[in-house]
Amino acid sequence: MIRQLSIVVKCAACVIALYAFVTLHASAEEKPMVPVKEATAESGPVLSGNLRVDLFGFERLPSSGSMEQVQAVAPARKSPWLAAGLSLVVPGSGEFYAQSYWKAAVFFAIEVAAWALAYTYDKKGDRQTDSFQDYANLHWNVNRYAQWTLDNATTINPGVDVAPYKDPVSGVIVNGEVNWTRLNQLESALGNWYSHNLPAYGEQQYFELIGKYEQFYQGWDDANYNLPGYYDVAKANLSPEFQYYSGERGQANSYYTTASTFVTVAIVNHVVSAIDAAWSAGSYNKVHAEVGLQTVPAGGYYTSVPVLKIRYGI
């Protein structure tokens, strides 16, 4: 019973609201002129029925039937601080608040484009990285590099006792597997152009060093360097695989650099947009033009006509 009563009440409320809306809508479109008493300082401004409330305040229709502007209310100001804060978060939003719509569109478009390009080039860098790492996994072998180092250690540095590093139990290569710690110890002991220790497999530096320094050349499948010519880079027949790999890795770095550049553009866009939004808000407070509709009498009835209003200062 209570639920049914509630439904009836809601329906009645809906009917009343619909009736009020239709009545008000009809009266707003066409209503007879009625005298409007003169506004006074005590009564304040009188509503005219404008479709848009602009920064000039309200207007009224006097009883004489002519259109006459009455006391204007203080127009709303735009806060430069608020405008700057909005654009600092979302470029263009402060300009939109200050009603500089074209500039708002430009700053927002730059923001979207910068982040879209940054994302695109970052993903290109990721794909390129996967590609050159897969290539390295196919063509660079740590066992080959370690074995060559052991075989030529005495020539590289005669002062190093290589025997402990060749021990089948505690040496660099044990049961066909490279002991990374022992390999790094051997690299450090050799010195000379063994300027780096091979990082652990999978690290970013691992993939960088094997395609950058000559001490790692012998890890490539097609490398065939013989001492002492190996010391002379100018005389060494560089591995085509090494050269290809270096180019692919360089391309990945280029993609990442481009992505970082667009991120910088986006950050700068936030700052510039914030400064411009503050300036735009200040300009809005000084000079502002607005187009709207004004209700005027016509043949005993009200009608709406377009008007342009320009305000300077406050």
Q: pLDDT tens-digit profile of 223-238?
A: 776 654 454 444 455 6
Whole-Å CA distances, 7 to 3, 4, 15, 16:
6, 5, 12, 14
Burial of 103 (0-12, 13-18, 19+ CB in 10 A): buried
Using CA atoms of 273, 279, 283, 285 in order, give the dihedral in degrees to the nearest 10: 100
* pLDDT of 303 higher than 70: yes
* Tokens representing residue 135 in the block: 């290539």
Instruction: Provide the pLDDT for residue 306.
Output: 79
* pLDDT of 184 higher than 90: yes
The Cα 129–Cα 242 span in angstroms is 15
Dump pLDDT digits (tens) for 235-286: 455 678 888 999 999 999 999 999 999 999 999 999 999 999 999 998 888 8
* Tokens representing residue 1 in the block: 């019973």
When pLDDT is averaged across residues 182-201 and rounded to a whole number, the result is: 91
The Cα 251–Cα 130 span in angstroms is 12
* Tokens representing residue 81 in the block: 């601080």
Dump pLDDT digits (tens) for 119-152: 999 999 999 999 999 999 999 999 999 999 998 8
The Cα 277–Cα 281 span in angstroms is 6
Dump pLDDT digits (tens) for 30-81: 444 444 344 444 444 444 444 444 444 434 444 444 444 433 444 578 899 9
CA neighbor of 194 nearest in space, from 144, 247, 230: 230
Neighbours of 297 (CB within 10 A): 15
Domain boundaries, the chain: 120-259
> pTM of the full predicted structure?
0.62
Instruction: Provide the pLDDT for residue 234.
Output: 45
Non-local (6+) Cβ contacts of 78 within 8 A are 97, 98, 99, 280, 281, 282, 284, 285
The Cα 223–Cα 241 span in angstroms is 8
Question: What is the chain's percent helix, strand, coil content, to nearest 5?
Answer: 55, 10, 35
Instruction: Provide the pLDDT for residue 250.
Output: 93
Whole-Å CA distances, 195 to 34, 41, 190, 198:
97, 89, 9, 10
Output the average pLDDT for the chain.
76
Non-local (6+) Cβ contacts of 292 within 8 A are 50, 51, 52, 54, 306, 307, 309
pLDDT band of residue 221 (cuts 50, 70, 90) is confident
